[in-house]
């Protein structure tokens, strides 16, 4: 099992995001549970990406919304970075 690390800035982003999109809260919680168990599960669609400001990984909550994250190499820890739509995560349409 992996440990998810929630920073204060990530928690604030999630709070604002779920206030705007309360309809996906159950999907979000299910996604985090699956991420803890197996970040490589096919339904998460984990993949590496790089922008001018960030290099890390992304998983899908659903086809529209994603979570960006980093794997911490000293163990089975996952640092959650951001949540949003395609433009917010990848910086493009």
The CATH number given to whatever domain includes residue 72 is 3.30.2310.20
Q: Is the pLDDT of residue 93 over 70?
A: no
pTM of the model: 0.88
In terms of residue numbers, what domain contains 73? 3-90
* Integer CA distances (angstroms), 40 to 35, 37, 43, in order: 8, 9, 8
In the chain, the number of structural domains is 1
Span 16-66, pLDDT tens digits:
999 999 999 999 999 999 999 999 999 999 999 998 888 899 999 999 999
> How many Å apart are CA 50 and CA 33, to the nearest integer?
25
Q: What is the DSSP string of 30-71?
A: HHHHHHHH-TT-GGG--EEEE-SS-EEEEEESSSSEEEEEEE
């Amino acid at each position: 099992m992996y440990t998810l690390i929630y920073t204060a800035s990530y928690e604030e982003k999630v709070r604002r995001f779920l206030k705007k999109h309360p309809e996906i809260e159950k999907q979000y919680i299910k996604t985090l549970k699956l991420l803890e168990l197996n970040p490589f599960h096919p339904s998460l669609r984990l993949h590496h990406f790089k922008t001018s400001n960030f290099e890390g990984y992304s998983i899908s909550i659903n086809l529209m919304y994603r979570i960006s994250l980093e794997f911490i190499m000293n163990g089975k820890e996952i640092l959650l970075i951001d949540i949003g739509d395609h433009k917010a995560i990848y910086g493009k349409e």
